[in-house]
Amino acid sequence: MKEPLHFRCENVVRMSNSVNAYWLRLLDSERYDECDYGKHLLLKYPDTTNKVQRRNYSIAGRPDKGVIEIAVKRQRDHGVSASIHQSLTQNSMLIAEGVSGGLTSTSLLRYGTVLMVCAGVGVTLPLGLVRGLAALADQGAQVPDVNLIVCVPQLNALLFFTELLALQARHPWLSVATFVTRERVREGISYLTSGRPDPVRLADRMPVPDAIVLCGSSSFVADWECKLLGIFPNAVILDQHQLDSGSTRLPALSPPAIESACKLMLTDSNRVITALRGDTLLQTLEVHGVVIPSQCRMGICGRCSVRLIEGEVESTSEIGLTTIERERGYRLACCSRPVSEVIELEL
- Report the C-alpha gap between 74 and 72 in whole angstroms: 6
Tell the burial category of 253 from Cβ atoms under 10 Å away from its Cβ (0-12, 13-18, 19+). Answer: buried
pTM summary value: 0.71
Rounded (10°) CA dihedral 60, 241, 99, 66: -30
CATH assignment of 106-244, given 3.40.50.1980, 3.40.50.80, 3.40.50.720, 3.20.20.60? 3.40.50.80
- What CATH number belongs to 5-100? 2.40.30.10
pLDDT at site 1: 53
Q: Phi/psi zone of residue 117: left (φ > 0), alpha (ψ -120 to 50 degrees), beta?
A: beta
pLDDT at site 295: 65
pLDDT at site 321: 78
Q: Does domain 261-346 have CATH number 3.40.50.1950?
A: no
Rounded (10°) CA dihedral 320, 325, 328, 329: -10
pLDDT at site 281: 92
Name the residue ranges covered by the structural domains of the chain: 5-100, 106-244, 261-346
Print pLDDT tens along the chain (347 aa).
578 999 999 999 999 888 999 999 999 989 999 999 988 888 888 888 888 888 888 899 999 999 999 999 888 777 888 999 999 999 999 999 888 877 889 999 999 999 999 998 889 999 999 999 999 999 999 999 999 999 999 999 899 999 999 999 999 999 999 999 999 988 888 889 999 888 888 888 889 999 999 888 777 887 888 888 889 988 988 854 444 433 344 344 444 344 478 899 998 888 888 888 888 898 888 878 888 887 666 676 677 889 999 999 988 777 777 778 888 899 999 889 999 989 999 98
Residues 6+ apart with CB under 8 A from 327: none
- Report the C-alpha gap between 36 and 38 in whole angstroms: 6
